[in-house]
Amino acid sequence: MRNTFHLKTLAVAIAAFSVASVTNAAGLDRSGQDVTAFLQDGTYAEAVYTYIDADVSGYDNGRVATDDAGYVQGNKTGDIAEYYDFFRYGVKADVNDTFSVGILYDEPFGAAAAYTGDSNFTGAPTAAIDGLIASQLNGKVPGQTITSAEGLDTYVTGVQQQLETGREQVRQAEAAIAGNPALEPVLRPQIDAGKAQVAAGEAQLAPLEGLNGYAAGQLANNEGTNVEVRSESITAILGAKFGANKEFQVYGGPVAQRIQADVKLRGSAYGPATGYTSHISPDQDYGYIVGASYSKPEIALKAALTYRSEIDHSMKIAETYPLAGLLAGNPAEASQTTAMEITTPQSVNFDFQTGINPTTLATAKVRWVPWSDFSIVPPLYNQVSKNNPTYGPDGLALVEYDDDQWQVELGLAKRVAPALAISGTVGWDSGAGNPVTSLGPIEGYYSAGLGAKYNVTENWAVSAGGKYLWFGDAKGQLPTKQIVGDFQDNDGYIFGVKLSYQDTK
């Protein structure tokens, strides 16, 4: 039985699963932080390329910047999900029958979203700016009701003309005195009164000119909302086997992780935050991985439980927030470069496989990530939010999630020829809450995948796989909890290819 049902007999089927297995999940999860390369027998190496193309589209909120009490279907957003690809590499070797070493590279977290077309996430933020002007000037300009950027510009231009007329009258009176000093007693009181009136008008107009300049600057910005997050991770693993038949193994090691991001908030959907831009410079920091596995080669059984720690990053962030300059009355206050803390989440992966018969393998993967503990809190963005007492002393985060992620994938692999195996998977991802950030508006997914592996030689193999995903419907929301979009009936696909080498001798 052992000779016909050994794991080595099923090796052609085993590796077919990890080509396009865990991708495009909740939060910023991308690679699934797979460690199965380290769990292979003998000397093993793999290089995997994964390509993701999702269609995520919906409608904006017709009430943005005028009434956030509910959602009314507005304009189509178009497809906001940009294609996304990444690589994964793994090398593992046995030092002896007890110790094993390995190096894994993946790109664990990421995002790529861009709004285009005609919606509240793109173009001149007319509704947002008009709404801000109406709220800022409500009852503050005697005898005037100003509710739009156009109305403000008209009013400011008119007052500027009146003030210039007053200045010209003062200049003419002073010229008259210069030409005829005898007019001094008559004209000096008028000159002083005129200067006082002009000075008072200039003081009253100054904040309105600032608001008018801010509005003009924002209305000239026709870009679309965009976000991109990239990460890289290198994991070094040392494993030690024990037990009568070396069936148990414990493993662990350090993890080096590098992450960077760019965010642009544009259009009326983001209200006063429109025009916000941030660049988070690359930062590398460190965590660890620990795990334990059990194997029973007689029935091709392997089970592994792997924990990855959270990793704290201290990152340099350059922010531009036009509203900050307006509130401070100083355009220079709209930009700052400071330090920001981000903690990427911990995770737990469970990997399981067992032989059903000498040519068929069943697998299961379960992953948990506590995205409810994760947030991105840029300092300038957060500080501006504290000006609104509604958001309390802590202010707002730019990105945060309500729920933890659970992910399950089940599969079967069948060896149909001595050098060929095929596989199939079904999966479910819980998502990280709904409503969710407008920068990634899906609530989990269901998936179905197919894969195949062909052994080119005894040691070298090529695998390919694809997966189709049905995304869960989700409402897109701002950090303020205002609903700004509704995204339904979306889907995507994943394609992966892998080159692998294995020597179990």
| pLDDT confidence of residue 21 | 54
In a domain? residue 461? yes
Query: Quick one: 345 exposed, middle or buried, by C-beta within 10 A (0-12, 13-18, 19+)?
Result: buried
Q: Quote the pLDDT of residue 287.
A: 97
Helix (H/G/I), strand (E/B), else coil: 103 = strand
CA distance 4 to 299: 10
Task: Pick out the chain residues at pLDDT < 70.
Answer: 1-25, 65-69
Q: Which residues touch 465 (CB under 8 Å, ≥6 apart)?
A: 16, 17, 19, 20, 21, 423, 449, 450, 451, 452, 495, 496
Please give the pLDDT value at position 13: 47
Q: What is the reported pTM?
A: 0.89
431-434 own/partner pairs: CB under 8 Å, 24+ apart: 431/26, 431/403, 431/405, 431/472, 431/474, 432/26, 432/27, 432/371, 432/372, 432/401, 432/402, 432/403, 432/404, 432/405, 433/371, 433/372, 433/401, 433/402, 433/403, 434/402, 434/472, 434/473, 434/474, 434/475
Return the axis-axis angle of helices 149-179 and 184-219, rounded to nearest 10°.
150
Q: Is residue 381 a part of any domain in this protein?
A: no
Q: Which of 87, 83, 77, 79 is nearest to 111 (CA)?
A: 83
The pLDDT of residue 280: 95
We report the CATH number of the domain holding residue 81 as 2.40.160.60
Residue 333, in any domain of the structure: no
Range of the domain at 493: 2-116+225-269+289-300+348-376+401-503
Instruction: Please give the full DSSP string across 298-345, using - where no structure is assigned.
Output: GGTEEEEEEEE--EEEEEEEEEE-HHHHHHHT-GGGGEEEEEEEEEEP
Question: pLDDT of 52-103, one tens digit each?
Answer: 888 999 999 988 766 666 888 999 999 998 888 888 999 999 999 999 999 9
| Tally of domains in the chain | 1
In a domain, 124, yes or no: no
Name the 3-class secondary structure at 159: helix
Tell me, yes or no, whether 47 lies in a domain: yes
- Domain assignment present for residue 217? The answer is no
Q: Given this model, what pLDDT does residue 20 score?
A: 53
Confirm whether 230 is domain-assigned.
yes
Please report how many Cα atoms fall inside a 13 Å half-sphere around the Cα of residue 21, on the Cβ side.
Answer: 30
Tell me if 194 is assigned to some domain. Answer: no
Extract the tokens encoding 70. Answer: 């509910």
Angle, vertex CA 293, rays to CA 18 and CA 255, nearest 5: 70
| Distance in angstroms (rounded) separating the CA atoms of residues 76 and 61 | 10
User: Is residue 86 within 8 Å of residue 31, measured between CB atoms?
Assistant: yes
With contact defined as beta carbons under 8 Å apart, do 294 and 351 qualify? no
